[in-house]
Structure 1
Amino acid sequence: MPIIMDSKWFSVLNKSTPSIMFRFLLLCCLVAAWCLGAGASICSAQQGEQTAELPDKISGTESPPQVQSYSITIKGNSSIKEKDLRKAAAGELLMFEQRAYRKADIDDAAFQMRSAYLQAGYAFALVDYTYEKKGDHIEVIFDIQEGPRVIVENIVFQGNRNIAADKLLSFFGEPAKTWGRKQQTIFVESAVRDGINMIRDHYRGEGFIDVVVKNPDLSFNENRSGVTITIAIEEGPQYIISDVQLQGDLLPGLAPGLDKIKNELTGKPYYVRRKLFLRTSLEDAYDAVGYAEANVAIEVIQQDEPGRIILDAVITSGTQVRIADVVISGNDSTKESFIKDRLQLKPGDIYTRGKKMESFRKLYDSGLFAKISMELSGPREDGSRILEVEVEELPTREYFVEPGWGSYEQLRLRAGAFEKNLFGIGKNGRIDGLVSMKGETISLSYTDPWLLQTAISMNVPLYFESRDEPSYTSDEAALSVLFSRKFSKNLTLSTGYQYKMTQLSNLADDSVLQKEEEDYNKGTVGIQAIWDSRDDIFYPAAGLRLASSFDISLPALGSEIEFGRITLGCRYFIQLPQEYILGLRATTGLIIPLGDQSFIPISERFFNGGDNTVRSYQHSELGPKDENNEPTGGLGYNVFSIELRKRFYKNFATTLYVDAGNVSPNKSLLANDFMPYASGSDLLDDTLNDFFSEFRFGIGIGFQYLLPVGPIRIDVAYNPDPAEIWNEDNWAFHFSLGMAF
Structure 2
Amino acid sequence: MNPRLTLVSLVATLALTAGVRGQTAPAEPPLPAGQPGSLLADQPAAAKVVKSVEVRFKGDATVDKARITSNMRLKVGETWTREKEEDDLRALFNSGNLLNVTIDTTDVPGGVNVVVTAEARPAMGDLVFQGNTVFKTERLRDEAEFKAGTVVDDTKLNEVRSKILELYTKRGYAETTVSYSIEPGSQRGFSRIVFRIDEGGRGILNEVKFEGNTVFTSRRLKAIVESDDRNWIKVWDLKRKITQEKIEGDIRRVQDAYGNAGYFDARVDNVDQVRIDDKKTDLVFRISEGPQYTTGAVALTGNKVFESETLIPVFQLEAGTIFSLADMKTDIDTIEDYYGSRGYADVSVTPRISKNGNTISITYGIEEGQQFKLGRVNISGNSETRTEVILREMALEPGDDYNTIKVKKSMTRLQKLDYFEAGNGIDFMPVASTLGPDYKDLNISLIEKKTGQVQFGAGFSTIDNLVGMVEITQRNFDLFNWPRFTGAGQRFRLSLRAGTQTKQFLLSVTEPYFMGQRLSLGGDLFWTEKNFLSDYFDQRDIGASVNLRKPLGDNSDLRLTYTLQNVEIFDVSGDASQQIKDEEGKYLQSRLSSAWVFDNRDDIQRPRRGHKIMVEGALSGGVLGGDVEVYNFSVTGSKFWTLPFDTIFFVEGRAAVVDTVGNGDRVPIFEREFLGGANNLRGFNYRDVGPKDENGEPIGGNSSAYITLEYSVPVFGKVRAAVFADAGVVNADSWDFSTSDYNANVGFGVRAVLPVVGPLKLDYGIPMTADEFNDGSGRFQVLMDYKF
Q: TM-score, normalised by structure 2?
A: 0.55
Q: Which 5+ residue runs of structure 2 have no aligned equivalent?
A: 1-55, 61-99, 101-117, 123-129, 131-177, 180-197, 231-236, 401-405, 427-445
SS of 1:606 mapped into structure 2: coil
Q: Per the alignment, do residues 124 and 525 of structure 1 end up closer, same or farther by CA in structure 2, a change over 3 Å counting?
A: closer
- For the residues of structure 1 that align with 2:537 and 2:464, how far apart are their CA atoms? 15
**Conserved? CA contact 2:764–2:781, under 8 Å:** yes
1:120 correspondence with 2:187: no
**Conserved? CA contact 2:301–2:363, under 8 Å:** yes
1:495 correspondence with 2:495: no
CA apart distance, 1:72: 5.5
Which residue is 1:439 aligned to? 502
- 5 Å-filtered alignment, 1:419-458, equals 420-424=477-481, 426=488, 430-458=493-521
- For the residues of structure 2 that align with 1:330 and 1:77, how far apart are their CA atoms? 51
CA apart distance, 1:616: 0.6
**Conserved? CA contact 2:569–2:583, under 8 Å:** no
Q: Per the alignment, do residues 552 and 710 of structure 1 end up closer, same or farther by CA in structure 2, a change over 3 Å counting?
A: farther
- For the residues of structure 1 that align with 2:291 and 2:674, how far apart are their CA atoms? 58
- Per-residue Cα deviation, 1:68-115 (whole angstroms, up to 9, x for no partner): 9866554554432112233444449999x977798x998997786566
1:694 correspondence with 2:729: no
SS of 1:83 mapped into structure 2: helix
- For the residues of structure 1 that align with 2:338 and 2:545, how far apart are their CA atoms? 58
Q: 2:459 aligns with which of 393, 404, 425?
A: 404
Matched-pair identity in % = 19
SS of 1:544 mapped into structure 2: strand
**Conserved? CA contact 2:583–2:668, under 8 Å:** no
Q: Which 5+ residue runs of structure 1 have no aligned equivalent?
A: 1-24, 40-46, 52-62, 176-182, 220-226, 236-269, 294-328, 345-350, 373-390, 666-685
Which residue is 2:468 aligned to? 413
Q: Per the alignment, do residues 476 and 436 of structure 1 end up closer, same or farther by CA in structure 2, a change over 3 Å counting?
A: same
- 5 Å-filtered alignment, 1:63-212, equals 73-74=209-210, 77-91=213-227, 116-117=257-258, 119-122=260-263, 136=278, 149-150=291-292, 152=294, 155=297, 173-174=316-317, 185-186=321-322
CA apart distance, 1:410: 1.0
CA apart distance, 1:553: 1.6
Which residue is 1:273 aligned to? 369
**How many residues in Structure 1 have an aligned counterpart in Structure 2?**
541
CA apart distance, 1:210: 14
- For the residues of structure 2 that align with 1:428 and 1:101, how far apart are their CA atoms? 42
CA apart distance, 1:600: 1.7
**Conserved? CA contact 1:528–1:547, under 8 Å:** yes
- 5 Å-filtered alignment, 1:255-334, equals 272-274=368-370, 277=371, 280-281=372-373
Q: 1:478 aligns with which of 529, 543, 549?
A: 543
Q: Letter of the 2:633 partner, please give it.
A: I
Q: Per the alignment, do residues 477 and 580 of structure 1 end up closer, same or farther by CA in structure 2, a change over 3 Å counting?
A: same
Which residue is 2:86 aligned to? none
Q: Per the alignment, do residues 502 and 149 of structure 1 end up closer, same or farther by CA in structure 2, a change over 3 Å counting?
A: same
Q: Per the alignment, do residues 654 and 330 of structure 1 end up closer, same or farther by CA in structure 2, a change over 3 Å counting?
A: closer
1:586 correspondence with 2:653: yes
SS of 1:726 mapped into structure 2: coil
Q: Per the alignment, do residues 695 and 142 of structure 1 end up closer, same or farther by CA in structure 2, a change over 3 Å counting?
A: same
SS of 1:719 mapped into structure 2: strand
CA apart distance, 1:523: 1.7
Q: 2:761 aligns with which of 706, 713, 729?
A: 713
**Conserved? CA contact 1:495–1:528, under 8 Å:** yes
CA apart distance, 1:703: 0.7
As a proportion of its length, which structure holds more helix?
1
- For the residues of structure 1 that align with 2:449 and 2:497, how far apart are their CA atoms? 28
Q: Per the alignment, do residues 189 and 589 of structure 1 end up closer, same or farther by CA in structure 2, a change over 3 Å counting?
A: closer
Q: Letter of the 2:505 partner, please give it.
A: I
- For the residues of structure 2 that align with 1:352 and 1:143, how far apart are their CA atoms? 52
- 5 Å-filtered alignment, 1:31-42, equals none
Q: Letter of the 1:492 partner, please give it.
A: D
- Per-residue Cα deviation, 1:196-246 (whole angstroms, up to 9, x for no partner): 99999999x9x9x99999752423xxxxxxx3457899x9xxxxxxxxxxx
- For the residues of structure 2 that align with 1:78 and 1:561, how far apart are their CA atoms? 70
- Per-residue Cα deviation, 1:251-292 (whole angstroms, up to 9, x for no partner): xxxxxxxxxxxxxxxxxxx96523xx1xx34x86xx9xxxx9
- 5 Å-filtered alignment, 1:607-626, equals 607-626=674-693
- Per-residue Cα deviation, 1:624-668 (whole angstroms, up to 9, x for no partner): 221222111111111211111233211112222111111112xxx
CA apart distance, 1:451: 3.8
Aligned-pair Cα RMSD in Å: 5.9
Kindly name which structure, 1 or 2, has the bigger radius of gyration based on alpha carbons: 1
- Per-residue Cα deviation, 1:160-193 (whole angstroms, up to 9, x for no partner): 9999999998687348xxxxxxx96335689789
Q: Letter of the 2:555 partner, please give it.
A: N
- For the residues of structure 2 that align with 1:114 and 1:340, how far apart are their CA atoms? 45
CA apart distance, 1:444: 2.9
SS of 1:645 mapped into structure 2: strand
Q: Letter of the 2:783 partner, please give it.
A: S
Q: Per the alignment, do residues 701 and 516 of structure 1 end up closer, same or farther by CA in structure 2, a change over 3 Å counting?
A: closer
1:569 correspondence with 2:636: yes
- For the residues of structure 1 that align with 2:583 and 2:618, how far apart are their CA atoms? 23
- For the residues of structure 2 that align with 1:82 and 1:366, how far apart are their CA atoms? 42
- For the residues of structure 2 that align with 1:200 and 1:432, how far apart are their CA atoms? 47
CA apart distance, 1:608: 0.8
SS of 1:706 mapped into structure 2: strand
Which residue is 2:715 aligned to? 648
1:732 correspondence with 2:779: yes
Which residue is 1:540 aligned to? 607
**Conserved? CA contact 2:302–2:367, under 8 Å:** no
- 5 Å-filtered alignment, 1:352-367, equals none
CA apart distance, 1:156: 9.6
Q: TM-score, normalised by structure 1?
A: 0.58
Q: Letter of the 1:438 partner, please give it.
A: Q
